[in-house]
Amino acid sequence: MKKVAVILSGCGVFDGAEIQEVVLSLLALEQNDAQWQCFAPDIDQHHVIDHRTGEAMNETRNVLTEASRIVRGEILPLTDLNVDHFDALLVPGGFGAAKNLSDFAYNGDPVQVNQEMFAVCQAFARAEKPAGYMCIAPIMIPQIYPKGVKGTIGNEPDIAAAFNRMGGEHIECPVSDYVLDQRHHLLSTPAYMLATSVLDAASGINRMVKKLVELA
C-alpha cells in the first residue's frame, strides 16, 4: 500500500489549511488504497482570522495544534517527516499555504518558503518522488523545483504572472482537471482557486490524487 505524506498549514481557509480540500484529499487517498500521515510545522500562525467576519483577531494560535483539529489528532510535527518513509507528497491549499508555509500572501514574489517546508519538499523533489499541490499551494513550486517547472493555480492572471516571474511555467487549468509535469513527477490542481462548491473542488482533487497514487 502506498504511503503519502500530507502537509497542513493550520485549520481554516483564511488563516490555515482549507478544511474541505484536506478532507477531500484524505478521502480520495483512502479510496485509492493509499495510507496517509499528516504533518504541520510547529510554529505560530501568521495571524488568526475570525471566519465569520473576516477580521483579524488579537490572539496567537499554533499551526500544528490547529491542523490537528481537522485530522482528529492524527498529525506529527513537520520535522518528523522522513522522505524515505513515504512514496508521495500532497499539499492542500488554503491561505495558510501562503501565510504559514510561505510568505506569498503578504510579501508577494519571490516567495520565501518556510525553512522546514522547503527542506521537506526539496527532499521529495530530489528523490524524484511524486508530489501534488492544490489551490494556492502551487505558488511555492517555482522555489522548490528547477526553472521551467510546470504548475497551475487555475487562471488568476496576477498569481500566474508571479509563478512565471519566479521561473515556473504556469498552465491554465479548469477546476475539474490537473496539470502534470512529467519530468518532475509533479501535479497541481486549482481546487478552491476556482471551485464554487465542494463538488467542484472534489472533481479536480479526486483526479489528481488518483494520478498521484498511480505515480507513487
What is the rounded CA–CA span in Å between residue 191 and residue 203? 8
**C-alpha cell of 168?**
515556473
What is the rounded CA–CA span in Å between residue 159 and residue 110? 11
Whether the bond between 146 and the residue before it is cis, its omega within 30 degrees of 0, is no
Name 2's bridge partners: 34
Query: Which is the catalytic residue, given 11, 121, 135, 173?
Result: 135
What is the rounded CA–CA span in Å between residue 151 and residue 143? 12
The gap from C-alpha 215 to its chain's centroid, in whole angstroms, comes to 18
Q: Determine whether 38 is an active site residue.
A: no
Q: How many residues in the chain?
A: 216
Largest CA distance in the chain: 45
- In a 13 Å sphere around the CA of 62, the CA atoms on its Cβ side amount to 10
Q: Catalogue the active-site residues.
A: 135
